[in-house]
Chains A and B, each alone.
Chain A
C-alpha cells in the first residue's frame, strides 16, 4: 500500500515536472540565446553580453518601446477609469448593459482591428499613437469591466449607507469608501489591461499608420532581417520586468488580505 502511494507520488511529481518543462522550455531557450555569442539558429558558442550592448545602443528599439509604454499606460489608465465609472454609474440601473463590453473579448482581434481602421478612416482621424491608444482602451474595457464589476458586487451597501448616514457626501463616500475597497481590483485590472496592450499586435498593426510603431510591430519587422538575438535580450528584460510586476501585485494582494 505504502509502495503504491510512493509510486503514485513519484509519478505525479514527474508529471508536474514535465508540464512545467513544457511550459518553460521556450522561455529558458529564449533567455539562454540572449547570452549566446552566435546568432540564431546557431548552436551555443559561448557566453556574451554582446546582444544586450546592441540593445542598449539601438535608438529604434527604445523608441518603439517608449511608444508601447505610452500606449499601455495611457490605454490601461483610461480603460480602468472608464470601467470604474461605468460600474459605479450603472449600479442602480435595472437593466445590465455590461455584457456588451464582453464582445471585445469574444470578437476576434482582427475583426475589431479592421473595424477600428474603417471607423477611423470614416471620420478622418489620422492614424498614430492616439488611434492605437483608443483601440487598446476599447480592447481593455472587455477585461477591466468584469474584474472591477465582480469586486464591486462584493461591496456591502451598508458601508456606503453608513458613510452617508454619518454625513459624508456621496463624493467623499466614493473616494474614501468605494475606491479603497476596489483598490485590489483596480490594480489587477490595470495590470491586465497593460499586459493585453503590451502584447497586442493586430490592433497596433491596423491602427498605427506610417509614423508610429510599437514594440510588437518592431519585433515583427525585425524578423525579416533574421531572428536577432537582440529580440531575445529585450524579451529577457521584459520578462524580468513582468516578474517584478507580478511580485509587486502578489505583495499588494497579501497586504490587502492581511488588513
Chain B
C-alpha cells in the first residue's frame, strides 16, 4: 500500500517535472532558433518607427541577399530597459537618440564602431561629430538631426519673430490653447531655456521653479503629445504647438496654412545615431548595411519621405526647402548656432520624478 502511494507520488513529480521542462524549453526556443539559423544571412534593426522605409530594405536585400528585419521602439528609455532586461538580444544595429548612448555604452549594450569600414565619414557635417554624448565617435555615428520649435497656423497667427514667451507666458500667448510636447527631457530643456537657467547644471531650487512654470502652462495646454502635434495643427484643434520639426513639416507638405519657427532663444538639437549592438557577430553585414544607410540616395529618400534632416552635407544641400520647413536652418547658420544639445545633467529618476509630479497635479 505504502509502495503504491510512493510510486504514485513519484509519478506525479515526474509528470510535473516533465511539463516544467517542456515549458522551460519552449521559452528558450530563441536560443535554439539562433543555433538553427546561424548560417542565414539576416540583420535585425531596432529603430524609431519613422526612420527606415521598407522599399530601401527590399533593394538592399535584392543587392546583397541579406534580409533585414526591422522592429520599432517608442522611446529611448524603452529601448534601454528592453535591452538591459534581455539576456539574449537578436539585434545588430540600433538607431537611438544621442543622449541615451552613454547609458547604453556603460551598460555594455553597444560596441565600438570600426570607422575604417565606413566610407561616408567625409560627407558628414563636422557640427554633428564629436558631440558631448560620444566625444570621439567611438560608439556612434550621427545619421539624422532635428530641432524643437513652434508649429503654428499662419492664417491666424502672423508674427515675424517667435519666442518661448509666447508658449509659456499667459500675457503673450500665441493662442488660447496650445499643444505641448509630451517628453519630460525636452520639456525640462525648453523651460530652463525660457527661464534663462544654465543648461550645464540645474539646482533643486531651479527645478522647483521650472515645475511651477510648467504647472502654470498646464492651464492653457490643450494636449500633451509627441507625434500628434502635426495633426492638432492640421485639424485646427490648436493654432500653435511645440513639437519636433519633422512632425510639423510633414503636415506643411500637405497643408499650406501651417508654418514652423524656431524660438529666438534657441532650441534643442537632437541627433539620431547609428550604433552597433554588442551582441552582433555579423560585422561584415552590419557595415554593409550602415554604408548603404548612409548612401546619398537612401538618405535623400528617407529625408523626403519622413522630413528628416540628414547629417550628410551633399544630401542636405540637395534637399528642397519644403522638406526642411524652417527658415535659416542649416549647419553654420545663425539659427543653427542657437541650437544646443542637452547634456545628461539629470538622472533618469530625477527626470521621471519631475514629470510624474507635474502630470499628477
Contacts and interface: CB of A to CB of B under 8 A. Distances in A.
Interface of A: 39, 41-42, 58-60, 63, 117, 120-121, 124-131, 133-134, 208-213, 217-218, 220-227
Contact of B27 (A117, A125, A220): A125
Nearest to B85: A121
Interface of B: 23, 26-31, 44, 46, 48-50, 54, 57-58, 69-74, 79, 82-83, 85-91, 226-228, 230-231, 234-235, 250, 254, 306
A130 B274 CA distance: 29
Contacts of B54: 58-60
A210 B46 contact: yes
B235 A209 contact: no
Given A117-B85, A120-B27, A211-B69, 14 more contacts: A41-B234, A42-B254, A59-B54, A63-B69, A121-B86, A126-B87, A126-B88, A126-B89, A130-B29, A209-B90, A210-B82, A211-B90, A213-B71, A225-B250
12 contacts: A121-B86, A126-B86, A128-B29, A129-B29, A134-B26, A208-B71, A209-B89, A211-B30, A211-B91, A221-B49, A224-B74, A226-B231
Contact of A210 (B89, B227, B250): B89
Given A117-B85, A210-B46, A217 B27 contact: no
B290 to A, nearest CB: 18
B70 A60 contact: yes
Contacts of A42: 254
A153 to B, nearest CB: 26
A210 B44 contact: yes
Q: Which of A42, A121, A125, A129 has the most CB of B within 10 A?
A: A125
Contacts of A121: 85-87
A224 B87 contact: no
A221 B85 contact: no
Contacts of B73: 210, 221
10 A-B pairs closest in CB distance? A225-B50, A221-B72, A221-B49, A126-B88, A211-B90, A224-B49, A126-B30, A210-B91, A224-B227, A121-B85
Nearest to B254: A39
Contacts of B306: 225
A91 B235 CA distance: 59
B46 A126 contact: no
Contacts of B46: 210
A229 B89 CA distance: 33
A223 B90 contact: no
A210 B26 contact: no
B156 to A, nearest CB: 18
A133 B23 CA distance: 11
A184 B27 CA distance: 31
A213 B27 CA distance: 17
B44 A211 contact: yes
A222 B49 contact: yes
Contacts of B70: 60
A39 B28 CA distance: 43
Contacts of A124: 87
Nearest to B71: A213
B85 A127 contact: yes
Nearest to B55: A57
Contact of B48 (A39, A129, A130, A224): A224
A209 B231 contact: no
Contacts of A131: 27
B54 to A, nearest CB: 6
Contacts of B48: 224
B283 to A, nearest CB: 19
Nearest to A63: B69
Contacts of A117: 85
A41 B228 CA distance: 11
Given A41-B235, A125-B27, A211 B87 contact: no
Question: Which of A130, A134, A208 has the most C-beta atoms of chain B within 10 angstroms of its own C-beta?
Answer: A130
A225 B235 contact: no
Nearest to B83: A210
A40 to B, nearest CB: 8
A221 B69 contact: no
Contacts of B29: 128-130
Contact of A128 (B57, B72, B74, B90): B90
B250 A226 contact: yes
Contact of B74 (A59, A60, A220, A227): A220
A27 B254 CA distance: 26
Contacts of A226: 230-231, 250
Contact of B30 (A60, A130, A213): A130
B49 A127 contact: no
A59 B72 CA distance: 15
A66 B234 CA distance: 34
Nearest to B307: A225
Interface centre among B48, B85, B89, B228, by most A CB within 10 Å? Answer: B85
Contacts of B23: 134
A42 B253 CA distance: 13
Contacts of A225: 49-50, 227, 250, 306
B257 to A, nearest CB: 14
Given A125-B28, A126-B88, A210-B86, A59 B254 contact: no
